[in-house]
Amino acid sequence: MLLFKVMRIPVLFVSFLLLFCTHLHSATYSDSVYFFLRGYFSEGLGNYGDAQEYYQKALKDNPDSAEIRTSLASLFVKRGELGKAEELLNEAIVLNPANRVALMILAGINASKGITYRAKALYEQCIELNPEDTEAYMYLGSIYIGEKKYKDAITIYEKVLAYDDDNIIALYYIGRLYGEAKDYDKAKAYLAKVLEIKPNFTPALLDLATIYEIEGNLEKAIEYYQDVIANDPNDKKARSRLATIFIRQKEYDKAIGKFEELSDMDRQDLSLRIRIGLLHYEKARYDEAIQEFNMVLASKPDNYTVRIYLAMSWREKGDVKKALEELGKIDPKAEEFLTALKQMTLIYIKSGTIDEGIKAITRYLPGMDRKPELYILLSMLYEEKNDLAAGIRALEEARRIEPNNLEVLYQIGMLYEKKGESEKALAIMNDVLTIDPEYPNALNFVGYSLAEKGIRLDEAEAMIRKALTKRPDDGYIIDSLGWVFYKKGNLKAALQEIRKASNLMPEDPTIHEHLGDIYSALKDYDKAVHHYQRSVTLEKDPSKKNSVEQKLRMIKEKK
């Protein structure tokens, strides 16, 4: 109870007073003191019902007491009866405007109710009573922080420093607030001052580490996190942040070490084992990854995300059968099931077992025929098999389920293009743009198609630039822009853009063919030959490969 944090009653004095009151209980004032003390002790024992009864009796005998009202109000706060508490506190303040305890409790009630203007006024009253009331300043500052008025909060805490320049809490909060305002130099200065006074003050160490991490000074951040751990070996946050930094630095073994330490501290936290497993996976240590994921699944067999990780590890290890077996354990009703099917599809494609994949995906269709994603996966398998007509039919089924699914429409257009039916492909892409005029892939497709035909090149450029605003680092779109420049005869700009695309996608045969065309136009035949040869090596489509080979022969004749 806040009142008695300020006013402590010695035990012997209380005993004497109780004894005294037993002889003078007939006197009204003495009765009030007696009941008040009985209420105080009952409250201390947690007997709030008895305490309320005694306080109310005390107040009845001494109705003008602001202090009894304050104590009773404090009891009501503990019981969650804020309305009754507020009423009593207002009465107490009327009786004694200098009752700091009542002012502080009432301010806290108003702050908890979100009536911050009233809470601030009450804290300011306390400060008027005592300009060095640190507690009132602190609470007032916290309200400004809650309102995100950081400058006002800093001003409040600076007032504390004016009379107590070594106040750690005020210094710390000013440092934190400058950090929130991204004024990191001032933040570091104040936090450093805190550490001068108290070198092992963990919150300041953590904040300094975070600031250095934000600034990219990872070595300094590591130093402060390690200081935190030196002071408190059980600090989980510092170890976790260190692990994150080591991941950023691609020092995965160090990160694993920190996660292992965290796991030793909390064996129940399976997320740590998952992160360790993923780091082993990143390092291509698939046996270790499999071991970690199996440990998690032993406790949580229905953690389907981890089961997918396990399947991916088996796949990378080269055991396709076990990978598919793990994916098959995922409940088709689970939200992770579609992800599992995508992984299955990739496995079937990578292992060349396309027909098996088609059968597997088809088996799930009856129970999930309202999910277009399954038909998209089926179309991918048919496309890999080069059965483009079957792929289009699968996508048309998806379109029947969701007529405006842009991904489905776009894939239909791409398969028509691959099938050699360019006009149908273009019509589909225009349908996409009717639904979403800013769909970047369709914009790129139409723009590139116009450039290929050498028509409406300004319109083509505008569409491709629009696509680039959505995907500025997309190598295909950058290549399309370069191709527009090539068609416009601006070879320098074309070369610049398509070389940029090649850096992003060094294994794309079409981009190498385009570079060969540009260098050929520039009469740099050696470079043209190089890129045509790369295109021939990378190209899988026989007709396209043959076309580039013809260009290559023509260039060699010119050399």
**Predicted pLDDT at 89:** 95
Token pair, residue 352, equals 């060349």
**Predicted pLDDT at 559:** 61
CATH classification number, 1-130, choose in 1.10.357.10, 1.10.3720.10, 1.25.40.10, 1.20.1050.10: 1.25.40.10
* Residues 407-416 pLDDT 10s: 999 999 999 9
Percent of the chain with pLDDT over 70: 94
Contact 482, 501 (CB under 8 A): yes
List the domain boundaries for the chain.
Answer: 1-130, 506-559
pLDDT of 537 over the 50 cut: yes
* Residues 138-196 pLDDT 10s: 999 999 999 999 999 999 999 999 999 999 999 999 999 999 999 999 999 999 999 99
**Predicted pLDDT at 29:** 57
**Predicted pLDDT at 228:** 96
Structure pTM? 0.71
Mean of all residue pLDDT scores within the chain: 91
| Residue 467 CB partners (closer than 8 Å, separation 6+) | 440, 441, 443, 444, 447, 474, 477, 480
Tell me how crowded residue 332 is: count the other CB atoms within 10 A of its CB: 11
CA atoms of 458 and 438, how far apart (whole Å): 17
pLDDT of 44 over the 80 cut: yes
* Residues 461-520 pLDDT 10s: 999 999 999 999 999 999 999 999 999 999 999 999 999 999 999 999 999 999 999 999
**Predicted pLDDT at 366:** 84
Phi, psi of 14 (to 5 degrees): -65, -45
Stretch 59-81: mean pLDDT: 92
**Predicted pLDDT at 358:** 95
Phi, psi of 22 (to 5 degrees): -65, -25
* Residues 117-144 pLDDT 10s: 999 999 999 999 999 999 999 999 999 9
Q: Label residues 291-322 b or e (16+ Cβ within 10 Å = b).
A: ebbbbbbeeeeebbbbbbbbbbbbbeeebbeb
pLDDT of 297 over the 70 cut: yes
Q: Quick one: how far is CA 51 from the chain centroid?
A: 48
